Amino acid sequence: MLVLGIETSCDETAAAIVERRRDGSARIVADVVLSQIDEHAIFGGVVPEIAARAHVEALDDVVAAAMREAGIGFAGIDAVAATAGPGLIGGLIVGLTTARAIALAAGKPLVAVNHLEGHALTARLTDGIAFPYLLLLVSGGHTQFLSVEGVGRYRRLGTTLDDALGEAFDKAAKLLGLPHPGGPAIEQAAKRGNGERFALPRPLIDRPGADFSFSGLKTALRLAAEAIAPLSESDVDDLAASFQAAVVEVVANRAAHAMTSFAADHAGAATLVIAGGVAANQALRTALAAEAGRHGFRLVAPPLRLCSDNAAMIAWAGAERVALGLLADAGMAARPRWPLDSASEPMLGSGAKGAKA
Ligand code: KG4
Ligand code: ZN
């Protein structure tokens, strides 16, 4: 089965074609991602109107490039999948409308995909892992532990009470005068810095449960920076390193709690998957691998290119749904908010303020 996927929920315009074989194995046939980062950089974040316009201008070419890369026409695909939410409404409408038009014209089914489900199922595309597994999704708009029990079956074990982790990285970078997106900039600066110079708080560490909070850490970073301003380059490096050290320690601690609670419900299942843009952070990966090892879990981390936003994950989520006959309502409208675990109430402010929310 060949599925065309389209992703336009934030600042990447992406199209991909993924093959799903009868045995459940997968192959990425074409994968095109056009980043709008340069268009938003001078604003220090993603500007929704600019993003929507850029998607309109680029999407036709991006889809055509993916089809060319695959060497097929629309007649050769079996379904069209597009991100219908959560994300910036303008971009979502552009992607979903384009997908609907292609599906109608080519007489193929349309699958409306939840962007978070795309991230959640990526490890099955890349590593073919079986359900159930524990997922840590850390991106610019989302920070949550999910028990992934099947396609469309997710239970949230923890989430952020305020900022998403990627958002915290981005705000910390802005505060230190580092470029956007902040995550990679902080990681680079942290490599040169001393992570023990500033004693920043570890919010919620050792508290029961697997929730996160980052706003107090961000405030502490600001106060530490203000206390020694003006900042030299090595001050910035030390602040970045101290911030990242706090984050990594907190995430490893929360992961320990999440693994204990997941293991209690799923005897024998012991896989921790990380996904989302922040999963690119090497210090975080190393700490999570160690923590997973201590709990008898193995850590699965998709390749960096598939951790950040892309359309292969949307095509794959679409293929998983088509294979099970789980087609969401094809007339569905784009949804800025769309929690994966509908039984869990959104926490106040969770992921609501991020550039990617
Ligand atoms: O998943 P993603 O591409 O977009 C969505 O949020 O859906 O994630 C982007 C986020 C940004 O906040 C960016 O700063 C963060 O991921 N990020 C990182 C790193 N690379 C990207 N954060 C920490 N360390 C990194 N190396
Ligand atoms: Zn994402």
DSSP-assigned beta bridge partners for residue 85: 114
Indicate the helix (H) or strand (E) that contains 243: helix 233-265
Structural domains of the chain in order of their starting residue, each with its CATH number: 2-121+306-323 (3.30.420.40), 132-304 (3.30.420.40)
What is the residue with the minimal CA distance to atom 16 of ligand 1?
A: 277
| Cα–Cα distances in angstroms (integers) from residue 104 to residues 18, 30, 37, 98, in the given order | 20, 22, 32, 10
Q: What pLDDT was estimated at residue 327?
A: 82
Q: Tell me the pLDDT tens digit for each residue of 266-289.
A: 999 999 999 999 999 999 999 999
What is the residue with the minimal CA distance to atom 14 of ligand 1?
A: 183
Q: What pLDDT was estimated at residue 38?
A: 83
Q: Tell me the pLDDT tens digit for each residue of 151-162.
A: 999 999 999 999
Asked whether 86 lines ligand 1 (CB < 6 A), one says no
Residues of the chain predicted below pLDDT 70? 328, 330, 345-357
Q: What percent of the chain has pLDDT over 90?
A: 84
What is the residue with the minimal CA distance to atom 23 of ligand 1?
A: 183
63, 81 Cβ separation under 8 angstroms: no
Question: Ligand 2 centroid to 24 CA: how many Å?
Answer: 24
Asked whether 10 lines ligand 1 (CB < 6 A), one says yes
Q: What pLDDT was estimated at residue 331?
A: 77
